[in-house]
Chains A and B, each alone.
Chain A
């Protein structure tokens, strides 16, 4: 393999079906909670980042529905559900 495939490009290979609402969201007021910062390390899709104000932000596009953020951060800081019926990632190989 001549060049490394970036994370965005990797996620671009997957089949995603758009959902009308994000299935995971940060519970309002918890953006600076230390538990949430762990999501930046553990998310396989790199969807969590910290902004200049020290708040954690989540971009839901590219979510692999793996559940790691729920296990790492907990349900006190994340509102977590699966995408609506027939939405989200659809693995062809899995």
Chain B
């Protein structure tokens, strides 16, 4: 089959952020691109914790951000370390976080992706929703198109942006089914609250937003944590837990963890009076650099979660910027392949080079030890408890005389404890 017989220059499978970024960029270059989305609209099948960092991707889509339907720019950061009945919170805010251009925003994918899809259509992308791709058309080892709803659609390049499970990457032989150790699951509720209540409760000025992360008792010692983001008129509240840890003892059903988190007094008072309006969940790739497999093959490229581009380094959990950027670079690779009129793996290999030269692979390489260091259960149980013990002793005024401060802390620092910390936090230096 020669490329002139093809229905499209490029077919993008999946209308989430990587797919939309790829299709938008390809259409801008004047190529014919079809985007297939299995949901009723872009965003219908997508879940985010709720926060997009713009700095790394701002220049890739210069026209996009001015009118994008963001929720709130994040101007207040909090991290809470939770023990069973107490917590220690670190708060970071200040004028630098409220300066334009803002570095990050809370977003809702149902709104954002739908709007992004409209912008892509304006650039010339043909978008077909309610269209599940069932298979790849593979001839002589090269991907020649897709099968969707009994129809065969051909293209020079297929960009698989079909999410973390990427059934297409498996069909193309680029990947095996994902394993528990490399993935987490996120659960989230959207809790609607009056805008003024949100602004009062979180001390927000106008469109400012707050981001709060919680670790420790939230996941009952399992790898993961809780998150809270303020939207315009709702709160995104949820937890992320490593799937491997969830499968092990102590046995706990994951929905119960979210319910227990909501009942924590620190959280309950923030969502008091709110109405839950949606419950969502999704698998998150968290295996980091070591779990990233082949990113391209003959006539096919993988982008976004399908390529494993999501990263948890504790203080930040990021995926959407990598999705946007990898979609953008997949588009650049497709455009180059089109110019060279060569769609083989050797031609599409430029995709990997573009990624290697970008923040995407730089980040993944820099943080390649993060999943390994972070999976240490002591970070999620022992240290939150220890921090709680120290705080209690420092702040407590007993009926009798109060012990001196230094010995108070020192009593927790046995040689064994300090050696454990030395080893654990030695690992942290690799991040």
Which of A25-33, A50-58, A69-77 participates in binding chain B?
A69-77
With A1-B262, A44-B254, A93-B234 already in contact, the answer to whether A81 and B167 are too (CB < 8 A) is yes
How many residue pairs, one in A and one in B, have C-beta atoms under 8 Å apart? 147
Whether A72 pairs with B246 at a CB distance below 8 angstroms is yes
Any B CB within 8 A of the CB of A40? yes
Whether A74 pairs with B177 at a CB distance below 8 angstroms is yes
- Give, as a whole number of angstroms, the nearest-CB distance from A62 to chain B: 9
Interface residues of A in 4-32 (CB under 8 A from B): 4-5, 7, 10-11, 13-14, 17
CB closest chain-A residue, reference B177:
A75
Any A CB within 8 A of the CB of B347? no
A38 — which chain B residues lie within 8 A by C-beta? 246-247
Any A CB within 8 A of the CB of B243? yes
Whether B279 pairs with A13 at a CB distance below 8 angstroms is yes
Report whether over half of chain A's contact residues are helix, strand or loop; otherwise say mixed.
loop
B178 — which chain A residues lie within 8 A by C-beta? 67, 70-71
Distance of A17 Cα from B38 Cα, bound (Å): 12
Whether A40 pairs with B283 at a CB distance below 8 angstroms is no
Whether B110 pairs with A71 at a CB distance below 8 angstroms is no
Distance of A44 Cα from B40 Cα, bound (Å): 22
The digit string for B152-167, where 1 denotes a CB below 8 A from any CB of A, is 0000000000011101
Q: Which residues of B contact A (CB under 8 A)?
A: 38-41, 43-48, 108-111, 113, 129-132, 148-149, 163-165, 167, 177-180, 183, 185, 187, 189-190, 234, 243, 246-247, 251-255, 259, 262-263, 268, 271-274, 276-283
Residue in A5, A11, A65, A93 whose CB lies within 8 Å of B111: A93
Whether A41 pairs with B38 at a CB distance below 8 angstroms is no
Residue in A75, A90, A91 whose CB lies within 8 Å of B47: A91
Whether A93 pairs with B108 at a CB distance below 8 angstroms is yes
Distance of A89 Cα from B337 Cα, bound (Å): 36
Distance of A82 Cα from B254 Cα, bound (Å): 22
Any B CB within 8 A of the CB of A64? yes
